[in-house]
């Protein structure tokens, strides 16, 4: 078990498989971003070793993210090896869905159990504008392929003021009236180079709930407001699906946080919204033993921060979101 100094049991690792992406969402990365050379990223055998070490430290849930995880070479084999690691109970993925049409079945066969697919609007033109060139039809093809392959599917939408904060949010929430899907609205978070844009565009959960209820009627809390992961869940009347809100900015959920993040370049990121990281790549490439790696990880976890400091204008600037993975 990996405990931090606040008594939280940290057992969920989100691994960024690559900083690269086949889209350039406006809230995530600048259009002219330069990606890291491949040699600076964790290699397949390094990921395998770290997963085994984290599993031995009590981590049992793993989520693969990016950039876009499906553009990583050998992603299916990587999933297969993680799923087969003793102690690993769940392997999930967060993806833009563009390549799921082809990859959903092999990923499911390799042991992936769930995907969270990002879709910020159902409107093709707005989707293109938000992602800079994406085709929303390809995302739908990916979502359907994931369902057919038996993967659990949740939809994620980041809400950006003046892009998708009104009818788009309502259209996505309306999906829950017809499908048993969970759709989750994510408050935009400020990072690195794009933080000015992000801060101006944040739409709070409170505002979103007013927008949705005005069109679709009242929402009831699910499970007395108990968090599902990081999401507060609600349901429209008689809806088979659920609406989640991930409100890291206005309603942080630090007390129930169980996660740590591994960046594609091998840093252990202890909180999404804080710059603190522990370098695992250097000891890994300098032949540190398993026991030495475990001591470094445990020390890092112990000092996992509590709370963001956005209210004091302290914004994490050392990375953009695509390098951390969400």
CB of 298 to ligand SAM, least distance (A): 27
The item of ligand SAM, ligand SF4, none sharing an interface with residue 186, based on CB under 5 to 8 Å by kind, is: ligand SAM
Q: Which of 10, 17, 25, 78 binds ligand SF4 (CB under 6 A)?
A: 25
Residue in 65, 71, 58, 136 with CA at minimum distance from that of residue 102: 71
Question: Binding of ligand SF4 at residue 105 (CB under 6 A)?
Answer: no
Q: Characterise 201 by phi-psi region: left (phi > 0), alpha (psi -120 to 50), beta (else).
A: alpha
135, 175 in Cβ contact below 8 A?
Answer: no
Q: Which of 17, 29, 122, 155 binds ligand SF4 (CB under 6 A)?
A: 29
The runs of H, that is alpha helices, within the chain are: 44-56, 75-83, 100-110, 124-131, 136-148, 167-174, 195-201, 205-216, 281-285, 290-302, 321-324
Residues 113-132, one symbol each (x = binds ligand SF4 by CB under 6 A, - = not), give -----x--------------
Question: Binding of ligand SF4 at residue 28 (CB under 6 A)?
Answer: yes
Residues 237-276, one symbol each (x = binds ligand SF4 by CB under 6 A, - = not), give ----------------------------------------
Q: What does the alpha-carbon distance between residue 258 and residue 13 come to, in Å, rounded to a whole number?
A: 9
- The residue among 4 and 68 lying less far from ligand SF4, judged by its C-beta, is 68
Stretch that binds ligand SF4, among 42-50, 62-70, 266-274, 276-284 (CB under 6 A): 62-70
Number of residues binding to ligand SF4, judged by CB under 6 A: 12
Residue in 287, 264, 262 with CA at minimum distance from that of residue 277: 262
Q: What does the alpha-carbon distance between residue 81 and residue 298 come to, in Å, rounded to a whole number?
A: 23
Name the site residues for ligand SF4 (rule: CB under 6 A). 21, 23-25, 28-29, 66-68, 96, 118, 322
């Amino acid at each position: 078990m990996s405990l931090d100094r606040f008594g939280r049991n940290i057992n969920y690792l989100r691994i960024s498989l690559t900083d690269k992406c086949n889209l350039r969402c406006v809230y995530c990365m600048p259009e002219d971003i330069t990606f890291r050379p491949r040699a600076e990223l964790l290699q397949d055998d390094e990921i395998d070793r770290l997963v085994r070490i984290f599993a031995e430290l009590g981590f049992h849930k793993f989520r693969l993210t990016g950039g876009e995880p499906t553009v990583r070479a050998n992603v299916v084999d990587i999933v297969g090896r993680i799923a087969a690691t003793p102690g690993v109970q769940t392997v999930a993925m967060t993806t833009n869905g563009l390549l799921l049409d082809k990859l959903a079945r092999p990923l499911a066969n390799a042991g992936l159990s769930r995907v969270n697919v990002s879709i910020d609007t159902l409107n093709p033109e707005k989707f293109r504008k938000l992602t800079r060139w994406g085709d929303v039809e390809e995302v739908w093809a990916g979502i359907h392929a994931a369902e057919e392959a038996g993967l659990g599917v949740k939809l994620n939408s980041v809400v950006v003021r003046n892009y998708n904060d009104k009818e788009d949010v309502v259209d996505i929430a309306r999906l829950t009236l017809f499908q048993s899907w969970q759709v989750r609205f994510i408050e935009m978070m400020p990072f690195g180079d794009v933080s000015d844009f992000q801060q101006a565009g944040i739409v709070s959960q409170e505002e979103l709930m007013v927008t949705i209820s005005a069109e679709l009627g009242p929402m009831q809390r699910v499970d007395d407001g108990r968090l599902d992961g990081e999401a507060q869940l609600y349901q429209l009347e008689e809806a088979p699906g659920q609406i989640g809100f991930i409100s890291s900015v206005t309603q942080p959920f630090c007390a129930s946080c169980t996660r740590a993040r591994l960046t594609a370049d091998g840093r252990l990121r202890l909180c999404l919204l804080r710059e603190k990281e522990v370098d695992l790549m250097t000891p890994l490439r300098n032949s540190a033993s398993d026991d030495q790696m475990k001591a470094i990880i445990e020390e890092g976890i112990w000092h996992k921060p509590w709370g963001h400091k956005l209210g004091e204008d302290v914004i994490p600037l050392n990375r953009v979101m695509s390098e951390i993975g969400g």
